Amino acid sequence: MFARAVFALAAAAIAPAAIAQGSTADEIAKYRAALREGNPAELWQARGEALWREKRGPKHVTLEGCDLGLGPGIVKGAYAQLPRYFADADRVMDLETRLVWCMVKLQGYTESDAKRNVFGSGNDKKSDLEALTAYITSESRGVPMKVPLSHAKEMEAYRVGEKLFFFRGGTHDFACATCHGEEGKRIRLQDLPNLMTAEGAQKAYTTWPAYRVSQGELRTFEWRLYDCFRQQRFPELAFGSEAAIALTMYLARNANGAPYDGPAIKR
């Protein structure tokens, strides 16, 4: 708040014609509010629900037997408790790795087939995982985040995620914390959430997946991390990797308590 006020004064001094930072933020908030209705994410949700119920793969079976942590086929509220440890896989999984697991175990896909086109592009290269994620997450809308931290592997994932959050690397010596570890940071007109505070973490995490206007696609949290790594000039973050799951665990757990609010819509 203070940083914004200072910037507004500075801007006013340097460029009298410039909009003060505060009112710009208000106008952008209006833009975001106007977009909430008729969110194209609903199109992915509908396709995802159809995929969930469709008999597919070599075993010609639906995904309705998939256990997302609350029991086989229970979708409502499942995303609010992910990532979590799964005994049958003996590892911590986020939603997307769990979906791949179910596609392999229940439907008979190979892992590479299940992971084909993880990030969709246009009408010809649609991503089943993005659609399924949109559907499953929509069934947690309004449910308070309740990521567990009881199993030893869950705690380890959280610790690794935290370390990764502060790990400086790449050509620019960036860490996640470089952009997301302080109040009042901004890239051009984009306010960067401070993920170190509960409020910042909650607002950020509970609004993914989101229909990303600039992509024209529904993008998931795996994509968000992948794209952050790309922008930091880090090596590519592999889909469903230990690193991706650990970072997701750290950020999702920090969002605990807040009602999940996705799929959302972002610029």
Residues catalogued as catalytic: 228
Percent helix, strand and coil across the chain, each to the nearest 5: 45, 10, 45
**Which positions from 146 to 185 touch other proteins by CB under 8 A, shown as an x/- string?**
----------------------------------------
In Å, how far are 26, 215, 219, 248 from 251, measured between CA atoms? Answer: 27, 23, 17, 5
**Is 27 or 182 the residue whose CB approaches other proteins more closely?**
27
Q: How far is the CB of 133 from other proteins (least distance, A)?
A: 16
* Stretch in the footprint of other proteins (CB under 8 A) among 32-40, 74-82, 141-149, 244-252: 32-40
**Which positions from 187 to 216 touch other proteins by CB under 8 A, shown as an x/- string?**
-xxx--------------------x-xx-x
- The answer to whether the CB of 143 falls within 8 A of the CB of 215 is no
- The answer to whether the CB of 218 falls within 8 A of the CB of 224 is no
Q: What spatial distance separates the first Cα and last Cα of the chain, rounded to whole Å? A: 23
Token duo for residue 93: 């999984």
Token duo for residue 253: 């757990």
Q: If binding is defined by CB under 8 A, does position 37 make contact with other proteins?
A: yes
**How far is Cα 193 from Cα 199, in angstroms, rounded to an integer?**
9
Selected binder of other proteins within 17, 38, 87, 112 (CB under 8 A): 38
**Is 32 or 55 the residue whose CB approaches other proteins more closely?**
32
Contact footprint for other proteins (CB under 8 A): 24, 27-28, 30-32, 34-35, 37-40, 42-43, 46-47, 122-123, 188-190, 211, 213-214, 216, 267
